[in-house]
Amino acid sequence: MNDTPFSAFFLTLVPVTQSGFSLALRDGTIVLLAVMFFVMVLVSAYLGWSATETVNAIYAQAVPVLKAQGMQIPPNPVGDMPPLSLFRNMVTYVALLGALAALVLGHQTVSSDRKSGAFPLLLSRPISRVGLAVGKIVSVITLIAALLLLAATINVLTMLVLPGLSVTGAVWTGLIKFYAVSMLYMLALGLLGALCATVFRTESMSLLIPVTVWLALTFILPQVTANIGPMAALNPVSANLVAPDSKFFAATAMIFGPISIAESYRFLAASVLEIASGAGTTTTGVGAILSLIITNLVLAVAFIFSIHRFDGSRSDYRD
Amino acid sequence: MINSTTQMSAIAAKEIRDAVHTHLLAILTGFLVLAAMVSLSVSAAALHAEYVSYIESRDLLLSLGKDASALVPPAFFPLKLMRGFVEHIEIIGAVLGIVLGYKAAAVERGHSTLALILTRPISRFTFLGGKVLGNVALIVIGLATTFSIGALALAIISGVGLGATDLLRILTVFGMASIYVSCFFLLGFIFTLNFKRMPTALLAAFAVWLALVLIAPQIGDTLDPDNQVAGGVFRTLGVPKPMEKEIIKSFATYETIRDGIEQASPAKHLERFSFAVLGIKDIYNGQPLADVVRDRMSDAWWLLATFAALVLALFLRPLNITRLTKE
């Protein structure tokens, strides 16, 4: 048998990835969050379509009234809405349900091994710790990709079913870009979950800390950098309004913008779906994508390092 | 023999001591205070930016020799700055409640003391009552700290002292927020007592929180036609207010469904009640507190009914002996 570190790495990688995959599929919580996510994916297109139809109907009723009053008739505000904007709610559902599902998925990938006592056994074998960590990362990537692929399939089916939609090549490209950006954001949360599951000694804290970070990323940082209130952050239209033009917001955007990855994700996703109305004062497309990529790299390195330093003899959680 | 009131008080006092020792309350309240302070500061900065923009526009018009009377200066109502503060209570306050509920049950299951306690001459009602009392007291302490610091910060940031009426309005919202957070405490407590695995209970409680606090209001908000166009559909179309009301009448069914989805969310009831009491909702701004409370009493009843239903669920459901340990 070839015992080079390189072969040990690959011999570890494949079974660890497979094991991560099967453990996640057996976990009821992940399945519950995934089902909630898929239901909302299914509902999102209908919500977008229904809301747009309502605005159209309001316009149809407003025109004769405005004419009778002798007022100027403005153009229909939904007249030039791009088809992909029907999926505007997806931005919110990925940022809420998708992110939480990814976080729990990353967490369970490590915590299941810690609780089952597999870690001391694994680490007593001549395996590569880096291979083990990379295997875990690959299984998180594969699972999140599978989750998003299923969500994309649901989107495509709803697009074909809903009336009045013209599906062009640009629409397909936009949808692929949207899911690529969503993958980057969800992966960051997945890696955060895996990292916290490794470094904390109690399972409760290893769940609560990443949830708190996610809360801060989703609801506190966007308010600091762009005056987006917590509830406005849930609305795909109001979450993209222009930040007030002031020195305060210019300074906070400069300081916190690079770490405000929920905002980066929302900006990129909204741009791809062509629903961005004002965002851009706090970030740019390149800046946002760099922020997501760097966050993923930092978290991946931190996770590999945490597995490398992990004390296998005290692997089980205290609670 | 020790009576049940003494036993209940002892359990409640232990809950408070434990939370103080583990710094759990301090950490959770600290996070809530931080979010609330950020919200107040950002709201004040946004209002200041709006005011500076108004002054610049007015000066520009005056320097061009034009009439600036058409420009409306931004109105300043200190309590309106609490919009984000209330929204953080809705989101993070509910998480605080779930975590306290989880901890209250998990600490007994983790140490396997729950089964032991129930072998003692103590009724299930006394034990659960003590737990609920202690944690509701913790919630009241945590929220009282947050609201006190918030009120103080509001007075400092706005530079306007808060009057007795303002404080009474804040106190009313604090009372309703305590009931709201207690509902989520009960949810976390019931789940952790009854689920086979404790982390699954915590995540299931978070799933309910997601559905009720974030998704239901989001769907209601998204379906609001006025939120589909940046700046509002009626404003974009230039439709005057009386006409807007006429047009909306023909969407009564749509609005009923939309409102029904929002009504499912306890967070929305807290929001509607609080925004009315604090005058954040324009139609209630400047109205006497008693009139506002009377008008929004249905929201208060919803929250009280949810709390009562959860208390009933906790006390009526027998404790499953197979669920009293860690796993």
Confidence of residue A5 (pLDDT cuts 50, 70, 90): low
Please give the distance of CA B274 from its chain centroid, rounded to a whole number. Answer: 9
Q: Higher-confidence residue: A153 or A275?
A: A153
Which of A219, A227, A234 lies closest to B218 in CB terms?
A234
pLDDT at B111: 66
Confidence of residue A280 (pLDDT cuts 50, 70, 90): very low
First to last CA, chain A: 41
Minimal Cα distance from B327: which residue of A? A319
Q: What is the per-residue pLDDT across A135-163, written as a single tens digit (0 to 9) for each?
A: 889 989 999 999 999 999 988 888 777 66
CA distance B325 to chain A (A): 11
Which of A66, A92, A104 lies closest to B203 in CB terms?
A104
- Rounded to whole angstroms, how far apart are CA atoms A59 and B149? 46
What is the residue-averaged pLDDT of chain A? 82
Confidence of residue A281 (pLDDT cuts 50, 70, 90): very low
pTM reported for the whole predicted model: 0.82
Regions of chain B with pLDDT less than 50: none
Q: Are A160 and A175 in contact (CB under 8 A)?
A: no
Residues of B in contact with A50 (CB under 8 A): 223
Minimal Cα distance from B219: which residue of A? A47
ipTM of the complex: 0.78
Rounded (10°) angle between helices B24-63 and A247-256: 140
User: Are A52 and B34 in contact (CB < 8 Å)?
Assistant: no
User: Are B38 and A245 in contact (CB < 8 Å)?
Assistant: no
Residues of A in contact with B243 (CB under 8 A): 62, 65, 69
Coil vs helix vs strand at B280: coil
Contacts of A301 (CB under 8 A, 6+ apart): none
Chain A 211-240, residues with CB within 8 Å of chain B CB atoms: 211-212, 215, 219-220, 223-224, 227, 229-231, 234-238, 240
Lowest mean pLDDT among A44-53, A234-243, A287-296, B122-131: A234-243
DSSP annotation string for A177-231:
HHHHHHHHHHHHHHHHHHHHHHH-SSHHHHHHHHHHHHHIIIIIHHHHHH---TT
Q: What is the per-residue pLDDT across A204-257, written as a single tens digit (0 to 9) for each?
A: 788 888 988 999 999 889 888 887 888 888 877 666 666 777 788 888 888 888
Q: What is the per-residue pLDDT across B209-248, written as a single tens digit (0 to 9) for each?
A: 988 998 888 888 777 767 666 667 777 777 777 777 777 7
CA distance A202 to chain B (A): 11
- Rounded to whole angstroms, how far apart are CA atoms B276 and B295? 9
- Rounded to whole angstroms, how far apart are CA atoms B249 and B233? 16
Q: Is the dihedral of CA A94, A97, A99, A102 positive or negative?
A: negative
Q: What is the per-residue pLDDT across A56-70, written as a single tens digit (0 to 9) for each?
A: 788 888 888 778 877
pLDDT at A1: 45
Confidence of residue A121 (pLDDT cuts 50, 70, 90): confident
CA distances from A30 to A189, B170, B203, B209, B227 (A): 14, 40, 9, 16, 32
CA distance A248 to chain B (A): 7
User: Are A100 and B206 in contact (CB < 8 Å)?
Assistant: yes
Q: Mutating which of A26, A27, A29 best tests the B interface, going by the most B Cβ atoms within 10 A?
A: A29
Coil vs helix vs strand at A18: helix
